[in-house]
Each structure stands twice: as structure tokens, then as C-alpha cells.
């Protein structure tokens, strides 16, 4: 079965290369049909569940994971049910409904929405997790397969981390393309830095609350796979402010005419702040522009005013 994701462009950013004093490449997964990289892993997982006999998909994500499930379901002709909390935005619900998903609004937080979603999973349904499912990671790894096929061997990769699914897939992709030694800079926003907290504690820990506006990074705890890979692969955890992440989004909008969420701007922010940890990298930098469908230009500009 053909994959549901696109092979996305890999472009050199002239403004970022000038800023960093080395070539900076952008892997433009913001251009995926569901608006983010998530369709890579989610598409693959949904195709696998369908082959195994699933006749319905259930998700509890009011963000890009839910949108990817809705898109995959529409492509595969499988009905999708998404349960989102009352705190989800009208825009997210509209985008989900536009993809043909049945949207149920339930509970004051994701915990209650997720509990209802789990209870709705019938014997012929598959629950599609946003980041913690071994079926997702090889799908996300195709991102690095495409980079390798283009002939680029980066000196380091910058990406953002929420629950760690993207990170797990990228590390898997590096390993399967003979790049297991290429360091990864794993970027989180202050208030959503669950990987950093676990790395500091030396064990998986859970944040008490998410306080960042980068809601797509808002997993209180990263998956075990991400934590373990962060200790076996060369990884540096970086934390940026919400304001830095939003500024990087606005710069991307001006430089490359792309609108992405702060969750994605986070991966670009270390370049703008002249992150000293990047100085030791030898070679080109690769940034995963992971996207985010819930962003609008107006919202980014409003945040950029309020977060000075």
C-alpha cells in the first residue's frame, strides 16, 4: 500500500545559513497534507491496523495527531472518532470535522477526554496514540530516509520534542541510514520540557503541569522509547522560551512564507538565539520543520505582541 504521507522538500535556508555561519537545511514537513509530520507515523500505523482488521479509528488528540488520524481515515475509507476536551479550540474541532471525523467534546481536560475515547474503542476499532506506539516510529523515520536519499549527511539535527514520537522516529531513521553518530538537539519549550526533566532526574518523570503555549509539545511525560534513545544516542536537550519559539515562527513566516505552530518554531529558536551548544557541530545543520495545523498568522502575531 502506498504511504499516506508526501516526500517533502529539503531546502537550504539562505537567511538561517547566514545567521548560523554554516549551511542550514529545512525538512519541510509543514507541507504534509495533515499539516504536520504526524501523518508519517500515524498513516503507517493506521494502514497496519486496517490490514489487521480494524474497521474504525479512535483518537483523543485535539491537535495534529488527531488531524493525522482523521486524514488517514478519510484516505482509507475508515470512520474516525475523536474525543477532545472542552479546552480544545474551535479551530481544531473545525479542522477535524472538515476531515470527516466524528468529533465528541467531553471533559475539562485531556485526561477525561482520553478516558472516554478509550471506553469507545470496540473490538473492531484501533486506538491511535499520538506518540507512544512502536508502529509510529518507523513511519516518522521515513523523514530521515528522504534526507539520506537526497545525499545530505548533516552534522547535527534539530527537532522539537513533545511526547518523543518524532524524536524516536528520527533517531531510528538516523540509525537505519548509517548516521547513528549524528548528534540530535532535542528542543522543548519552558513549561513543556518533559524530556529535559527526565534527563536531569536520570529516570522518567512526569511534569506537574504544562504551562507553555506550545500545546503540541504538552506531554507531561515522554515515552520510554524516547528516554532510552536519548541516553544511547548523542543527544543534547535544549529549552527555549515561548517568546523565542514564537519569534522563530514569525521569522519563518517572513523568510520562507510558511505558518507553523510554536511547537515547530521551538526547533528553529536555538539558531536565532545563537545557541552556544551548536558551535561544536561539524558540518551542515538539519532542522525538522514539523509544522502544525492549528497555527494561524493572526495568532502568531498576537502572541508575538503579548510575549515580548
Strand partners, 184: 157, 235
**116-121: which pairs have CB atoms within 8 A and are 24 or more residues apart?**
116/60, 116/83, 117/58, 117/59, 117/60, 117/81, 117/82, 117/83, 118/58, 118/60, 120/58, 120/81, 120/83, 121/58
Instruction: Give the nearest distance from C-beta 114 to ligand PLP in angstroms.
Output: 15
If the CB atoms of residues 139 and 162 are measured against ligand PLP, the closer one turns out to be 162
If the CB atoms of residues 81 and 129 are measured against ligand PLP, the closer one turns out to be 129
- Binds ligand PLP (CB under 6 A): choice among 20, 229, 263, 285: 263
Q: Which stretch binds ligand PLP (CB under 6 A): 16-24, 88-96, 204-212, 261-269?
A: 261-269
If the CB atoms of residues 153 and 190 are measured against ligand PLP, the closer one turns out to be 190
By CB under 6 A, tell whether 265 contacts ligand PLP.
no
Residues within window 63-102 making contact with ligand PLP, judged by CB under 6 A: 63-64
Cβ–Cβ < 8 Å for 262, 299: no
Instruction: Give the nearest distance from C-beta 219 to ligand PLP in angstroms.
Output: 6
Instruction: Give the nearest distance from C-beta 269 to ligand PLP in angstroms.
Output: 13
If the CB atoms of residues 24 and 222 are measured against ligand PLP, the closer one turns out to be 222
- Binds ligand PLP (CB under 6 A): choice among 88, 216, 221, 236: 216
If the CB atoms of residues 103 and 186 are measured against ligand PLP, the closer one turns out to be 186
Residue 40: partners with Cβ closer than 8 Å, 6 or more residues away: 3, 5, 29, 32, 139, 140, 142, 143, 169
By CB under 6 A, tell whether 264 contacts ligand PLP.
yes
Q: How far is CA 141 from CA 40, 65, 98, 243, 286, in A?
A: 8, 16, 28, 30, 14
Report the alpha-carbon distance of residue 217 to residue 79 in Å, rounded.
27
Strand partners, 10: 27
By CB under 6 A, tell whether 269 contacts ligand PLP.
no
Report the alpha-carbon distance of residue 254 to residue 263 in Å, rounded.
18
Instruction: Give the nearest distance from C-beta 80 to ligand PLP in angstroms.
Output: 17
Report the alpha-carbon distance of residue 272 to residue 65 in Å, rounded.
28
- Per-position x/- string for 165-184, each x denoting binding to ligand PLP as judged by CB under 6 A, each - no binding: xxx-----------------
Which residues are at the interface with ligand PLP (CB under 6 A)?
A: 36, 38, 63-64, 131, 160-167, 216-217, 219, 261, 263-264, 290-292
Amino acid at each position: 500500500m502506498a504511504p499516506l504521507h508526501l516526500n517533502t522538500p529539503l531546502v537550504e535556508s539562505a537567511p538561517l545559513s547566514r545567521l548560523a555561519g554554516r549551511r542550514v537545511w529545512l525538512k519541510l514537513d509543514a507541507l504534509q497534507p495533515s499539516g504536520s509530520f504526524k501523518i508519517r507515523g500515524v498513516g503507517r500505523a493506521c494502514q497496519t491496523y486496517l490490514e489487521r482488521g480494524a474497521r474504525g479509528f479512535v483518537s483523543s488528540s485535539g491537535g495534529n495527531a488527531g488531524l493525522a488520524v482523521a486524514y488517514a481515515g478519510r484516505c482509507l475509507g475508515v470512520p474516525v472518532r475523536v474525543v477532545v476536551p472542552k479546552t480544545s479550540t474551535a479551530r481544531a474541532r473545525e479542522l477535524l470535522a472538515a476531515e470527516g471525523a466524528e468529533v465528541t467534546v467531553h471533559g475539562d481536560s485531556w485526561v477525561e477526554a482520553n478516558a472516554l475515547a478509550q471506553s469507545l474503542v470496540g473490538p473492531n476499532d484501533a486506538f491511535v496514540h499520538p506518540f507512544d506506539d512502536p508502529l509510529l516510529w518507523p513511519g516518522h523515520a521515513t523523514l530521515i530516509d528522504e534526507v539520506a536519499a537526497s545525499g545530505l549527511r548533516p552534522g547535527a539535527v534539530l527537532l522539537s520534542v513533545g511526547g518523543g514520537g518524532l524524536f524516536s522516529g528520527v533517531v531510528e531513521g538516523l540509525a537505519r541510514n548509517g548516521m547513528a553518530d549524528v548528534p540530535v538537539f532535542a528542543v522543548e519549550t519552558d513549561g513543556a520540557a518533559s524530556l529535559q526533566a527526565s534527563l536531569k532526574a536520570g529516570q522518567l518523570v512526569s511534569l506537574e503541569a504544562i504551562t507553555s503555549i506550545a500545546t503540541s509539545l504538552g506531554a507531561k511525560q515522554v515515552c520510554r522509547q524516547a528516554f532510552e534513545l536519548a541516553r544511547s544516542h548523542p543527544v543534547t536537550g535544549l529549552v527555549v522560551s515561548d517568546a523565542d519559539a514564537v519569534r522563530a515562527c514569525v521569522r519563518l513566516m517572513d523568510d520562507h512564507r510558511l505558518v507553523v505552530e510554536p511547537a515547530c518554531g521551538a526547533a528553529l529558536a536555538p539558531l536565532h538565539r545563537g545557541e552556544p551548544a551548536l558551535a561544536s557541530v561539524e558540518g551542515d545543520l538539519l532542522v525538522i520543520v514539523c509544522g502544525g495545523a492549528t497555527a494561524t498568522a493572526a495568532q502568531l502575531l498576537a502572541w508575538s505582541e503579548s510575549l515580548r
